[in-house]
Amino acid sequence: MVKPEIISEQPMPMVDVLNALDKIKAKEKELNYRAQRTDEYVRQFMSIDKKKAKELIEKLNNLKITRLRDIHIYKIVDLMPKSVEDLRAILQAYTITIKAEDLKKIVAVVNEYAK
């Protein structure tokens, strides 16, 4: 069995994962089992379209919150927390501390794009 080599690794929001899967599907006409399961998962849980996701990512980046990195922003966009408590629960998985006022700013921006 061939062992693929990882050249680089970078975080992606679910919107970009779906676009990548669509490109693979167009090229190969059919997804393998893992890609098909990933496609089903992303379509089930994705709560924002590509254009709005890009706008939201840009707005979150423009908040200039010191410790907030791309991986955190993409997770926020994927899960769309509606309250500060939800946002804290999401960020618990990371070793990051953000001031309460910044958490409120993040939630306010996310709520602009929530369905």
Is the same domain home to 108 and 54? yes
Q: Is the pLDDT of residue 115 over 80?
A: no
Distant-in-sequence, close-in-space partners of 79: CB < 8 Å, separation ≥ 6? 86, 90
Residue 83 banded pLDDT, cuts 50, 70, 90: very high
Q: Is residue 106 located within the same domain as residue 70? A: yes
pLDDT score for 85: 95
Tell me the pLDDT of the chain averaged across its residues: 89
Tokens linked to 30: 């059919």
- The helix/strand/coil state of 48 is coil
Domain presence at residue 5: no
Q: What is the pTM of this model?
A: 0.82
Q: Give the mean model confidence (pLDDT) for residues 77-84.
A: 92
Please tell me the predicted confidence (pLDDT) of residue 48. 85
Residue-level pLDDT at 3: 86
63 shares its domain with 99: yes
Q: Residue 40 in 3-state DSSP? A: helix
Q: State the CB neighbour count (10 A cutoff) for residue 68.
A: 19
Non-local (6+) Cβ contacts of 13 within 8 A are: 53, 57, 74, 77, 78
Predicted local distance difference test score (pLDDT) of residue 4: 84
Q: Are residues 25 and 71 in the same domain?
A: no
Q: Verify that 57 and 95 share a domain, yes or no.
A: yes
**What range does the domain containing 62 cover?**
50-113
Q: How many Cβ atoms from other residues are within 10 Å of residue 82's Cβ?
A: 12
